[in-house]
Structure 1
Amino acid sequence: MDIDAFIAVHSPEWDRLDELSRRRRLDGAEADELVRLYQAVATHLSTARSAAPDPALVTRLSEVLVRARTKIAGAHEPAWRGVVRFATVSAPAALYRIRWWTHAVTVGFLVVAVVSGVHVALNEDVLNSFMSPSAQEKYVDYEFEDYYEPGPGFTGLVWTNNFWITWQCIGGGITGFFPLYVLWQNAIGVGSTGGMMAAHGELDRFLSLIAPHGLLELTCIFVAGAAGLRLFWSWIDPGPLKRSTSLAREGRALVTVAVVLMVALGVSGLVEGFVTGSDLFWWLKILIGMVALAAFWTYTYVLGGRAVRDGETGDLSADEAGAYAVTAG
């Protein structure tokens, strides 16, 4: 084969393919032409390799084909971009969408906890039903405070326990009642402990020990409860979607919430493991807890609000989740 004649005849096609591959946008006709030229040039490369293996020509055609293949197939985003998008768009959007559910759960939890605490503090018979007076004194004097032993082992234990509570709320969300049951049990537990401490004149110690980590930790539990209840509600009131589609969409967004809570609970676990039981001033401990909570809600309202206004829901993208049909009634 005459290599010079081969280049002279087909060079315009190679140049045209290279030109189309470098363009940012192509119309329909140009996209069809790109595919057709890619197939033709691939044949030219095969011919050149078998009949006239000129290194310069083979390299030139290979480079043009690689660029064209990328244009046709589309370039994949680096993995780190997906992580960044999840952290700055999908995750805060999922939290923002259930913000009012979270606030409602928070109010309900606190009401139950306060009522429970007052009931325990003002009723000696109820107080003594938990433990004997001597055991109460022992618990109030040092056992409650000694529980918060600084260290990584305690941090891991706390994180595991709290994440299990959140997963109960999330995983049982479809039932509707199970998140309420978990929240009720925890509200009674927190309120009763506070009531016992208050009955012995140690309410200030109770608040100073629970506030540093509890502000973010309890908020995570509230969010988990809200996510579980929102999942149940998506089944009760699916809107314009089929119930199965609404449930699937909310379920995928709920997994996003679970991942965020895993990280947030890790932060509260670090605070509980290294700050709550430390020798820092009590006001500094609480300040650290407040900063952690403020960061969580800033993340939710600023990044989440922006993402939701841009149409994000915390669900997978349309091409990942698949199209869904809107139905009437």
Structure 2
Amino acid sequence: MKQHDFIQSRQKQWSDFAEAIKDPNKLHEYDIDLPHAFRQLTHDLAVAKSRLYSPALISRLNDLLLQGQQCLYKPSNRVWAPFWQFVKYDFPAQLLLIRRYVIWAHILFYGLALITFSVTMIEPEFVRNVMPNSQVTQLEQMYDPASRIDETTGNYRNERDSDSDFLMFGFYIKNNISIAFQCFVGGFLLGFGTLYYLLFNAIFFGAVSAHIVNVGFSSTFFSFVITHGSFELTAIVLSAAAGGVVGMHIIRPGQLSRTAALKQAGKITFPIIFGAFLMLVVAAFIEAFWSSSTLLPNAVKYAVGSACWLWILLYIFPRNPRSGEKSS
């Protein structure tokens, strides 16, 4: 689409957005979904940049975005307002800019995990190619329902002490962040490092899940991972997507020097990595204080976990902007 046609198709929406944000106190008077319009404007800016439209148009859209951010910012709460703005607007808008990387990272991770799961279901011994026998034994003991029963009383063992929960919370954060960090930093190796860590974790996840099903401990395992897994696995995949952006900027810097391309990649991916970090903290908290609980019925865990997965998918894959353009 030529620049003139692009402007003609979007001019009214830009004008409505500019008019609506002139006076934040009168937003209720305008028939406009400001967060949706803000995400749409972010998409328009990405399209304008990818098609090398005029600097004047790009500057205009940048200015509109800045004004929109100031309008959405709520100074009445200076502690939580920036955080809330990031979670509700900035992070999803940035994910939209790298949407194709996010989609491909999900396809690669869950696609290979599903293949590995199927292979391990058919050939149970395959799991021993992924982890040593000692780790397989430890895994079985961890999710064996019998391990939760007190042999003396025949009842479920007591919950962990709160001190132990906090220790596990710290352990989970450290472990999860190290995996996400590897997926991101691997992008500096022309993206091959990112690809390696993403696929390795996909194979590991698929093989472990299938082995647990094979030995008959699926109820214990899936009720444990379903809730925190929505945040944890998604954060790892998003970190890999950010690593892919870095790798592609190194491989194809365009008219920029590779140093300048890396700086540009950093500006794009920093919000993604920060958002993934927040998701990993949430995942670690859920894993330590919710997933490990033996008092909660599995039905409750499945219900809450399913709701978390649905919310995560709607959050990172929002409804396509109504411009009719494909995400860049």
Q: Same fold (TM over 0.5)?
A: yes
**Contact kept in structure 1, 2:124 and 2:211, CA below 8 Å:** no
Distance (whole Å) between structure 1 residues aligned to residue 112 and residue 319 of structure 2: 31
Q: Which amino acid aligns with 2:167?
A: G
Q: CA deviation at 1:165?
A: 0.9
Structure-2 residue corresponding to 1:281:
297
Kindly provide the CA deviation profile for residues 164-204 of structure 1, in whole angstroms up to 9, marking residues without a partner as x.
11111112212111111111221121112112112213334
- Deviation at 1:287? 3.0
CA displacement at 1:137 relative to structure 2: 5.5
User: Displacement of 1:143 after TM fit?
Assistant: 9.0
Q: Which runs of 4+ in 1 moved over 6 A?
A: 132-136, 143-146, 303-306
Asked if 1:95 is matched to 2:95, the reply is yes
Q: 1:135 to 1:249 in 2, by over 3 A?
A: closer
After superposing the two structures, state which structure 1 stretch, 207-216 or 137-146, moved more.
Answer: 137-146
Partner of 1:263: 278
**Residue 89 of structure 1 contacts residue 303 of structure 1 at CA under 8 Å; is this kept in 2?**
no
Equivalent pair of 2:143/2:220 in contact (CA under 8 Å): no
Unmatched 5+ residue regions in structure 2? 1-73, 149-156
**Equivalent residues of 2:198, 2:240 under 8 A apart:** yes
Shift of 1:293: 3.9
Could you tell me which of 144, 153, 167 is aligned with 2:167? 153
Aligned residue in 2 for 1:58: none
Matched, 1:166 2:180: yes
Counterpart of 2:283, as a letter, is S
Shift of 1:302: 5.5
Structure 1: stretches of 5+ with no match in the other structure: 1-76, 314-329
Larger radius of gyration: 1
Q: What is the CA–CA distance in structure 1 between the aligned matches of 2:219 and 2:300, rounded to whole Å?
A: 15
Instruction: Please name the residue that 1:116 is paired with.
Output: 116
Return the alpha-carbon distance in structure 1 between the equivalents of residues 259 and 146 of structure 2. 49
Distance in 2, matches of 1:235 and 1:228, equals: 11
2: CA distance, partners of 1:185 / 1:96? 26
What does the per-residue CA deviation read over 1:84-131, in whole Å, with 9 as the maximum and x for residues that have no partner? 654444333222222332222112112222222232333254356642
Q: What percentage of residue pairs aligned between the two structures are identical? A: 25
**Stretch of structure 1 that moved more, 246-255 or 156-165:** 246-255
Name the counterpart of 1:131.
133
What TM-score results when the alignment is normalised by the length of structure 2? 0.59
Computed over aligned residues only, the root mean square deviation of the Cα atoms, in angstroms, reads 3.6
The separation in 1 between residues aligned to 2:146 and 2:187, in whole angstroms, is: 35
Q: Confirm whether residue 249 of structure 1 aligns to residue 249 of structure 2.
A: no
State the 1:231 CA deviation: 1.2
1:218 maps to: 233
Relative to structure 1, the CA distance from residue 221 to residue 208 in structure 2 (aligned partners, 3 Å threshold; closer, same or farther) is same
Q: Tell me by how many angstroms 1:225 deviates.
A: 0.4
> Does the 8 Å CA contact 2:177/2:280 hold for their aligned counterparts?
yes
Out of 97-106 and 295-304, give the one that drifted further: 295-304
- Structure 1 residue 234: deviation in Å? 1.9
Cα offset, 1:233, TM superposition: 0.9
Q: Which residue number corresponds to residue 251 of structure 2?
A: 236
Paired residue type of 1:224: S
**Equivalent residue for 1:141?**
144
**Residue 265 of structure 1, CA deviation:** 1.0
Please show how residues 18-33 of structure 1 align to structure 2 within 5 Å: none
Q: Which residue of 1 aligns with 2:18?
A: none
Would you say the 8 A contact 2:144–2:220 is kept in 1? Answer: no
Contact 2:120 / 2:207 at 8 angstroms: preserved in 1? yes
Q: Matched residues in 1 for 2:256 and 2:169: separation?
A: 43
Code of the aligned partner of 1:92? P
| Partner of residue 292 from structure 1, selected from 283, 289, 308 | 308
Higher normalized helix content (fraction of residues): 1
CA–CA distance in structure 1, aligned partners of residues 215 and 273 of structure 2: 38
TM-fit CA distance, 1:213: 0.9
SS of alignment partner, residue 144 of structure 2: helix
**How many residues matched?**
232
For structure 1, which segment, 273-282 or 161-170, has the greater mean C-alpha deviation from structure 2 after superposition? 273-282
